[in-house]
Amino acid sequence: MDSRLPCLIVFILTGLTPSCLGDANGIRRHDYCVLGAGPAGLQMGYFLSKAKRDYIILERNSGPGSFFHKYPRHRKLISINKIHTGRQNREFNLRHDWNSLLSDKPDLLFRRVSREFYPPADAFPLYLAMFERELGLRVTYGVDIGRIRAVTSSTSRSYVLTDQLGKDYTCGVLLVATGLWVPQEAEFVGSDLVEGYESISIDPEDYTDQAVLILGKGNSAFETAQSIMGKASRVHMVSRSPVRLAWQTHYVGDLRAVNNELIDTYQLKSLDGLVEASLERIVIVQQKDQGRKKSSTKAGKEEKGRLYVTINKYVQRQSEKNSSDVTAEELLGHHIDNFSLRKPYDRVIRCLGFRFNFSVFDSSSCPPKSENARGRLPRVNAWYEGSDTPGLFVIGAAAHSRDYRWSAGGFVHGFRYTVRAVHRVLEHRYHGAPWTSTQLLTTQLLSAVLKRVGEASGPYQMFEMLGDVILLRGSHCQYVEEFPLQALPQFSSLSGHEVSGHGLLVLVMQYGKKKIDYLGGGRAVTDWTKAWKSNFLHPVLYYYDTLPTEEEMKRRPHGWPLPRPKAIHHMVEDFLTEWDGPISHIQPLRRFLEHCVHTDLRAFYAESCFRLSLTHRKPPLFCRQGYLKQQGMVDSKLQHFPPTTPGEQRTDTAGADAAFPNYLAQAGAAMSSGIKLDL
């Protein structure tokens, strides 16, 4: 359906010109413009559509997700599509579904277009088209925006987008979701002899018996190497840094195991290899013919015309030379006879990733370049708004500067949650709607935290970047999900929720900070008394009596997601990532929460509450909020309290398993909540 049809109906029925049809000058006006119909643009479109906002998505190509029609070049995604998890919990399953977008349709998942664990790239545009179609998102295709400028008045700021036909689109808020699609290049002598990842042949036969040098050691570089290594005579890879393995760094953008076969052939000495060198210092040359006879290799290749690697230190008069004007004396192999890259190459391929397209912004609207990723990304603040461009938000892969080389914000399974966070910021700022939250009784706090750590996908994927904020208010609390942690000092202004004198808790998923061998012995911590030493992903709760300040955020300890709190609790890492052990997980968590809220959080059966009401002036909070309000649990067989510390009064032990206290003592535990959650 044409996205303008509803506007035309309004025009026919009322005679009024809706904003989506443009004004008398042909300028199309909207509250929100989303630039790009990739996964981030469509995800934002869903949230804007659900909130019934005036928006338009502008896409220069003829369909959504056009990047994936070409990339990755060898047509296999490395985003996990794990369909079978043994669970029916949709939120939990999103932890292992890295391709689906968020919506209120439970069946609108990527598995409908592919069931492969590493799916084909062609499946992703099909999924995005299905997502757009079934949700009825307002996308206009064939609009190639060539210029973006900001227009400022005394009372407002807006953005004007001009397309290839000279048509203007004006919006109060611009959401840039164009991704990273401009190939990253390196400038050096001989760069004109290098082929780009974006244009190389993907037929392995074209590399038969050729020596190939690849610039870069990321996934695109290793993907290319893996495709040709069975045909090429040798494949060498060079970059500034050593290869980073995702299973070592926990960063999904580092080299994934699905692409790392060349590491085997390098370490097992089968002709392939990895070298570290600054690309800015290297020179790619063709040796100058000095009247010698053309020598041929056994394979029949002429040495003249093949490519050599040297460094600029040995190349004379670089500004006067072109890439083929070099003598034997200027080759590094002439000076260092065992130089790793001294043999000639048939091809040199650049695989350095992609960068953000800054060229469409004029000086009034261009976000500054981030210091991360060598300026490839725009700099945004903690809620993804341009540092110097109010009302311009960067979403999706292009907003990865906030967590570059750390969390998953540059990938679909991460930015689907940061897009939702941006939308919640917009809803509060422009429409007065507070951040979505749930009000709980304080006695429900333990269960709520356990439920979130056991199933929540947002903090799990965007670890150390998005966290749950729990506002303590005495007998009840306000649970705010997936708030950007680095924006915590601005929590009240961004969310619309105030922090009371009772303080707040922040629930974060994080990895340990100690560098270890993640496949070595002793890599996992199982003792709950040493939970703070956990190396793998685990929940951490921070308690603050007041909201941290911006200065405290800047001065937080190195590697910490948040400033030093009044109290902190690590839940020991769990091999199954379930965190539901009564001794190892629930009991220590309950004791920490009780310390923060100054309240007994144990659960009691009705008969126990009845007895406590008769014998205590102030029964436990659970009884006051449950049994004494004619609510509670009744069980004629289980009428006992969990074991208590020596300092606590043991009120009821009838029916308790006599072996259980002994088990607790052996485990070093003083008490257990006895709560069992059906997650």
CB 94 within 8 A of CB 45: no
Reported as a pLDDT band with limits 50, 70 and 90, residue 285 is confident
The per-residue pLDDT for range 446-501, each reduced to its tens digit, is 999 999 999 999 999 999 999 999 999 999 999 999 999 999 999 999 999 999 99
Element (H, E) at 634: none
The confidence score (pLDDT) of residue 154 equals 83
β-partners of residue 149 are 160
The per-residue pLDDT for range 431-443, each reduced to its tens digit, is 999 999 999 999 9
Q: Which residue has the higher pLDDT, 419 or 19?
A: 419
CB 256 within 8 A of CB 219: yes
Report cis status (omega within 30 of 0) of the bond before 18: no
Joined together, the tokens standing for residue 306 give: 């093949």
Reported as a pLDDT band with limits 50, 70 and 90, residue 332 is confident
CB 564 within 8 A of CB 543: no
Angle at the Cα of 352 from the Cα atoms of 349 and 358, rounded to 5 degrees:
125
Give CA–CA dist 574/3, Å, rounded. 48
The confidence score (pLDDT) of residue 13 equals 46
Q: Is the pLDDT of residue 24 over 70?
A: no
Joined together, the tokens standing for residue 228 give: 């040709």
The confidence score (pLDDT) of residue 532 equals 95
The one-letter code for the residue type at 273 is G
Give CA–CA dist 354/396, Å, rounded. 14
The confidence score (pLDDT) of residue 678 equals 36
Assessment of whether the complete model's pTM goes beyond 0.85: yes
Reported as a pLDDT band with limits 50, 70 and 90, residue 295 is very low
The confidence score (pLDDT) of residue 433 equals 97
Q: Is the pLDDT of residue 190 over 70?
A: yes
Region 243-247: what's the mean pLDDT?
96
Closest CA to 117 of 70, 156, 85: 85
Region 342-365: what's the mean pLDDT?
96
The per-residue pLDDT for range 99-135, each reduced to its tens digit, is 999 999 999 999 999 999 999 999 999 999 999 999 9
